[in-house]
Amino acid sequence: MPRRTSAPTRAVPPRHLGTAAVLVAALLGAASCAVGPEPGAPARAVAATSPTTGSPTPGSAASTGTPAAPPVVPARVPETLTFSAKTLDGTTFSAARLAGRPVVLWFWAPWCATCASQAWTVAEIAPKYRDTVPIIGVAGLGGQQAMKEFVTEFDLGGTPQLDDRKGTLWRRFEVVEQSTFLIIDRDGRVVHQGFLDGESLTERVAALAR
């Protein structure tokens, strides 16, 4: 039987080996490029930029890190609130700071029985509406000591009580009797001047606060 011989192995030319090595290296490089960032790698934040310079706009939320607040527009002071006075405890009071809100001026006298009956209602509701519908007492037609005693007796110390013994504000608003409630709306217009019982006063103030 004739002897079998295996086919001779063909040697790969050196230039083909070099080409294969380059191919393997290229494949490995492509695989490494397809891998994403390592877990936990910090993401880069993008700030708001100026459309012209590409940098954060000065004063913007991106440059300061805080939301931009709307501009504060001061309230116009109406003629009805352009007055100042002293309170019964000697503090200077400026009505201009009440601009933009409804205001109730209560003209009372320390010896007035009607004023005394209304004082309980004022003492009850004034603190509740202090920031929305301020109620300001305007004491007149009496002595300072009697006025202070009235405030203490009816627990009115939590609301401003103006000392108008000279009648300056009474004349300004043409008040001729006590007890008188004068209501000024948000625009500074007088919308009521006269008597109000406790229930009516409470209803009017609650409506103004809405």
> What is the structure's pLDDT at 63?
45
Domain locations along the chain = 101-209
The answer to whether the pTM exceeds 0.85 is: no
**Beta-carbon-side half-sphere exposure of residue 93 (alpha carbons within 13 Å):** 20
- pLDDT by 10-residue block (mean), the chain, 210 residues: 44 42 38 38 36 44 50 74 96 96 98 96 96 97 97 95 97 96 97 96 96
Range 101-209 has CATH code 3.40.30.10: yes
- Alpha helices for the chain (secondary structure H): 14-33, 61-64, 113-125, 144-153, 168-172, 198-209
Q: What is the pLDDT of residues 86-138, one digit of tens each?
A: 999 999 999 999 999 999 999 999 999 999 999 999 999 999 999 999 999 99
Whole-number CA gyration radius for the chain = 42
d(CA 201, CA 198): 5
**Burial group, residue 88, by CB count within 10 angstroms (0-12, 13-18, 19+):** buried
94, two tokens: 């400026």
Q: For residue 74, what pLDDT is reported?
A: 55
**Secondary structure class of 174 (helix, strand, coil):** coil
At residue 194, the pLDDT reads 97
